[in-house]
Structure 1
Amino acid sequence: MSDGYIALEDGTVIEARGRSPGRTRGELVFTTAYTGYEESLTDPSYEKQILTFSYPLIGNYGVREERFESVRIHPSAVVARELTADVTNWLAEEGVPAMDHLDTRTLVRRIREQGAMQCGIAVGSNVTPDDARSELDTCVGMSDHDTIGEDVSVEQPVRYRDAEDGPSVAFIDCGAKQSIVTSLVERGATVHVLPYDATVSDVRAVDPDVLFISNGPGDPAIFEAAERLVTQVVGNLPIAGICLGQQIIARALGGATEKMRFGHRGVNQPVYDRKSDQVVMTTQNHGYAVTESGDLDVTQVNVNDGTPEALVDEERSILTRQYHPEANPGPHDTLDFFDDVLALAESRQSVV
């Protein structure tokens, strides 16, 4: 075993057991999920972040590629109370630093009290606390990663399901989970996955029935092309979005977003639906939230802090969710969102 150190921007240095060697830096965040570590580690929304698992044992049911949300691990480093050999071998194969045997409960409470913070990570046989501090000194904020879209998006269009029947979706990939695409395809849609900076001409070329803005990492203000695209097609094409997609759509239509204190990350976030007067449990992973909904109506809110979880404009056929209705790894309370999105295709009045 090797040594591991985390240097926090509040001056704290935490010692741990090194499990996968390397040095890196990033925003330290935590997830409360107790299952779904494979999905979390391959979720592009964690790009450039240091992921701490609050659940004490990570890896107890192995690693299976069919659960992956993308082709690689996205967090810059991983922290846990205990990591199994299956997970640490996987992390080491992909060159992702990892450490365990530290008090993650105290670490998570520190994040909750002080907010998500920058940190430096150093893991290896000869590392020192100063190595972690030197990594911390080179940190930048999430809003400064202005090229993050390039790191997580497709470079060229990709089509899933090629059929004449069923709706067609222009899917803007800002760092999408594969299960979102799968959820649409399973319901009979042809999904055209387009780069994060796709233009209105790119969208017109696939002749879609719905424009869909995906989830992804970082500050929604960075994704200017997607925001511009929404303003260009609104009223002519139904629009839907998840997570970062909701934030981009809100900003495009007169709303505002801001960075949250420590975000929502986990599979147990309660959401209140104003229409049904019911609470559903949701999977979430975001560090920014909509603060002003602009031209859109707020139909669902987070029970814990009141942040908007669903935005709607029935007249212009707009539908968004802040949480992840595809629910991987669970719960499955909100899967009907995808049926509602594809129903928007029937309301299409004109072509882009």
Structure 2
Amino acid sequence: MTEAYVALEDGRVVEARARAPGRSRGELVFTTAYTGYEESLTDPSYEEQVLTFSYPLIGNYGVRAERFESDRVHPRAAVAREFTEDVAEWLESEGVPAVDHLDTRDLVTGIREQGAMECGIAAGPDATPEAAREELERCVPMSDHTDIGAQVSVAEGLTHNPEGDGPTVALVDCGAKGSIVDSLVERDAVVEVVPYDATVADIEAVDPDVLFVSNGPGDPENFERAAALVDEYAGELPLAGICLGQQVIANALGGETEKMEFGHRGVNQPVQDLRSGKVVMTTQNHGYTVAEPGELEVTQINVNDDTPEGLESDELEIITRQYHPEANPGPHDTLSFFDDVVAMVEGGAKPTPSAGD
């Protein structure tokens, strides 16, 4: 029974089955990951998007909160060939519309050929094609979500692992995944999470050894406060960034970013290190990329399309990655990135004051 409609920017209206009722809209994107649906659905980088799973069955190992990357589902709606009852019930409890029993292969092919497109969704007993089109008409392009950081960032600072013996990391929360914090804490770092719009005074208050810009949703050019922090501390503190963080750091240091046709979203993106020649598999979720690196050196590239995957500067003590080294979901080939971040601080920790200091 058709209870849902997906209105696409290309003019089509696709019939589907409603699994979680509601109306929504957003940029339609897809992930090729075949596991990790809990992590993907709770990834803040999917804010204001409608997530389509290319793998046909989503939910075959249940739903467990300990695998979540944040405290809520972030996509505005979810689409799959088939959702299990567990996932459907979870999405309904979160108030996130979900639809299935449609040809996701056709949707994915359309996105690959035409690029990420806006869509509107209406699901439930009262759903109509007109309602889906109304949602589509209300869509806002991703780059026009100028304050999207406010939707995903902490409102005030938080401290993780306050008794840690490692370096103090000021993590600028532009939509940080929980596993980034976990990866730093596992290396005994003290992680001071600050809001996406933190000021220099906020950073000075936590007295960090490293400034770290997180992943997040939307256009990196809209994260002007984070870029201002990079500009302020480049050359003064070691800097690190993941995903959106790489883009923000590049923009702050004379580089340029641009929107991709359909982005990289999945757990099998091949990345080559230009120094060693080694290729690793990575987890990715981004729709923007660095077009010009500015003051930074490109050290890693995507094997499929040559887009920058790693930027560095020995002089400024900067290291960034476009992919997600923390994975969750995905391969753990690049977890050593966090060791490299900690190693940027001499000795891996603040010096111990000598007697009499």
> What TM-score does the superposition give when structure 1 sets the normalisation length?
0.98
Q: Deviations 1:225-272 (Å, cap 9, x if unpaired)? A: 000110001110000000000000000000000000000000000001
Judged with a 3 Å threshold, the aligned counterparts in structure 2 of structure 1 residues 260 and 347 are, in CA distance, closer, same or farther, namely: farther
* Inter-partner Cα distance in structure 1 for 2:163 and 2:90: 37
SS in structure 1 of the partner of residue 247 of structure 2? helix
Paired residues for 1:9-24 under 5 Å: 9-24=9-24
**Matching residue of 2:49:** 49
Whether contact under 8 Å (2:164, 2:189) holds in the other structure is: no
Asked if the contact 1:2/1:124 (under 8 Å) is kept, the reply is: no
Aligned length: 349
Which aligned pairs between 1:167-246 and structure 2 lie closer than 5 A?
167-246=167-246
- Aligned mates of 2:204, 2:345 — CA distance in 1: 15
Q: Which residue of 1 aligns with 2:355?
A: none
Residue type of the partner of 1:111? I
Counterpart-to-counterpart distance in 2, 1:208 and 1:254 = 24
- Once the two structures are superposed, the pairs formed by residues 56-205 of structure 1 within 5 Å of their partners are 56-163=56-163, 165-205=165-205
One-letter amino acid of the counterpart of residue 266, structure 1:
G
CA distance in structure 2 between the partners assigned to 1:342 and 1:91 by the alignment: 37
- Secondary structure of the corresponding residue to residue 127 of structure 2: coil
Unaligned runs of 5+ in 1: none
Alignment RMSD (CA, Å): 1.2
Contact kept? 1:2, 1:19, Cα under 8 Å: no
Query: In the alignment, is the contact (CA less than 8 A) between 2:2 and 2:16 conserved in 1?
Result: no
Q: Structure 2 counterpart of 1:142, which letter?
A: M
Q: SS of the residue aligned with 1:181? A: helix
- CA shift, 1:94, in A, is 0.6
- Whether the aligned pair in 2 keeps the contact of 1:289 and 1:307 (CA below 8 Å) is yes
Measured in 1, the distance between the counterparts of 2:50 and 2:164 equals: 43
Deviation of the 1:315 alpha carbon = 1.1
The equivalent residue for 1:292 is: 292
One-letter code aligned to 2:68: F
Query: Secondary structure, in 3 states, of the residue corresponding to 1:18?
Result: strand
Q: Encode CA deviations 1:130-151: one digit per residue, 9 max, x unaligned.
A: 1100111111101111121111
Are 2:262 and 1:262 equivalent residues in the alignment? yes
Percent identical pairs in the alignment equals 70
1:25 lines up with 2:28 in the alignment: no
Q: Which structure 2 residue ranges, 5 or more long, are not aligned?
A: 351-357
Does the aligned pair in 1 maintain the 2:46–2:75 contact within 8 Å?
Answer: yes
Residue type of the alignment partner of 1:163? E
Q: Measure, in 2, the Cα distance between the counterparts of 1:75 and 1:162.
A: 32
Give the Å deviation of 1:286: 0.2
Distance 1:219 1:177, change over 3 A: same
Paired with 1:126 and 1:118, the residues of 2 have a C-alpha distance of: 22
Contact conserved, 1:2 with 1:125, CA < 8 A, in 2? no
**CA offset at residue 165 of structure 1?**
2.2
Letter in 1 for 2:291: T
CA 1:282–1:130: 2 relative to 1, 3 Å = same
Which stretch has the larger CA shift, 109-118 or 163-172? 163-172
Shift of 1:201: 1.0
- 2:253 aligned partner: 253
Give CA-to-partner distance per residue, 1:43-88, whole Å, 9 cap, x none.
0000010000000000000000000000000000000000000000
8 Å contact from structure 2 (residues 39, 329) kept in 1: yes
Alignment partner of 1:346 is 2:325 = no
Residue of structure 2 in register with 1:3 after alignment: 3
- Does the CA-based 8 Å contact 1:46-1:74 persist in structure 2? yes
Rounded to whole Å, the distance in 2 between the matches of 1:97 and 1:12 is 19
4+ residue segments displaced more than 6 Å: none
Shift of the 311–245 alpha-carbon distance from structure 1 to 2, 3 Å rule, reads same
Aligned to 1:121, what secondary structure does the other structure show? strand
Structure 2 residue matching 1:225: 3-state secondary structure: helix
Q: Deviations over 1:275-307 (max 9, x none)?
A: 111110000000000000000000000000000
Q: Residues 80 and 100 of structure 1 are in contact (CA less than 8 Å); yes or no, is this contact kept in structure 2?
A: yes
The answer to whether the Cα contact below 8 Å between 1:2 and 1:123 also exists between their aligned partners in 2 is: no
Any conservation in 1 of the 2:2–2:15 contact (CA below 8 Å)?
A: no
Change (3 A) 1:136 1:164: closer
Report the Cα distance in structure 1 between the residues aligned to 2:285 and 2:346, rounded to whole angstroms: 30
Q: 2:188 and 2:127 mapped to 1: Cα distance? A: 52
